[in-house]
Amino acid sequence: MARLRLPVLLVLVALVTMTPFAVMVLVAFAPPGGRTLPGAFDLTRATWENFSAVLSGADVTRWAANSLVYSLVSVVLILLFSSMAGYAFAKKRFPGREVLFWSFLATLMVPFQATLIPYFVLVSRLGGVDTYWGLIVPTLANSQAVFLMRQFIAQLPDELFEAAKIDGASEWRIYTTVVLPLITPVLATLGVFVFLWHWNDFLWPLVIGQSSAMRTLTVGLATLEGENVAVNQVMAGATITVLPCLLVFGLLQRYLTDSIATTGLKS
């Protein structure tokens, strides 16, 4: 009996953990109207009706496009700028290097919410409210990305860069043809995290995207909930929202879990 206790407990906890996802999907496919339970568990009556209703009723496709723009553009730019900065911090000597690096890191101590107001005042004065650049650009200053890049690049042996330099390669060439290929694993890991952070981000897109057309999917889902949309449709919207996360998770689960254990990345 004692030998069975562990797996039984494990399976039970796993089932409880999965239950919210399961009920989300069941309710999303349940026929609308009337009480949700226990009808939601009758799989023979499953219908796509809620999905078509939520897709036609709200700007869901527009929100999904905004989320993709916000997440993908941020991934590309953060990877580019943080790997450039990480390379300089790790391999180049220049005045103020240490002070700069530590002051980048120190910003981790300041919670985003604490500076939300000056952030918003600044971006709105620059005319960034309800624009894509206002949404994206302020979130690119990511100290965790710079830190991770510096740590990783610092471990690479100097000889790799020296050889290219002796061959007469320019610094930009060394960065694109030597540094970038060597750091592909860390680019992939960081890229996945940045994608998830931005896809799931809420407070900043909420305050900066003021018209419905500028909402991201996560903000849109919260407004659906607030606007008395039927629960089946909200769950259909939720299912759409979570799909990219599940896709990324399904493909890269090992990458994600291993890198948290070794680097402690956290949004």
Give, as ranges, the residues between 21 and 50 that touch another protein (CB under 8 A). Answer: 21, 23-24, 27, 35-38
3-state DSSP assignment of residue 33 = coil
Q: Nearest approach, Cβ of 159 to another protein (angstroms)?
A: 14
Least Å from the CB of residue 18 to another protein: 6
Task: Scan for tokens 């998770």, then name that residue.
Answer: 249
In contact, 72 and 216? CB cutoff 8 Å: no
Burial class (CB in 10 A: 0-12, 13-18, 19+), 70: buried
Select from 96, 86, 200 the least CA-distant residue to 145: 86
Rule CB under 8 A: is residue 200 a binding residue for another protein? yes
Asked whether position 125 contacts another protein by CB under 8 A, the answer is yes
Residue 117 engages another protein in binding (rule: CB under 8 A): yes
Contact flag: residue 182 with another protein (CB under 8 A): no
Amino acid, single-letter form, for residue 241: T
Rg over CA atoms, the chain: 23
Phi (first) and psi of residue 127, to 5 degrees? 80, 25
Applying CB under 8 A, the site for another protein has a residue count of 93
Nearest residue (CB) to another protein, 61 versus 92: 92
Tell which one of 203, 212, 213, 227 touches another protein (CB under 8 A). Answer: 203
Minimum CB separation from another protein for residue 13, in Å? 6
Measured from the CB of residue 46, what is the shortest distance to another protein in angstroms? 18
What's the angle, vertex CA 57, arms to CA 53 and CA 60, rounded to 5?
A: 95
In the complex, the smallest distance separating the C-beta of residue 30 from another protein, rounded to whole angstroms, is 11
For another protein, which stretch binds (CB under 8 A), given 44-52, 58-66, 183-191, 192-200? 192-200
Q: Which stretch binds another protein (CB under 8 A): 43-51, 52-60, 181-189, 231-239?
A: 231-239
Minimum distance from residue 42 beta carbon to another protein (Å): 14
CA distance 125 to 114: 19
Within residues 143-162, the interface with another protein by CB under 8 A covers 143, 146
Output the CA–CA distances (angstroms, integers) from residue 248 to 40, 193, 242, 256, in the order listed.
Answer: 28, 10, 10, 9
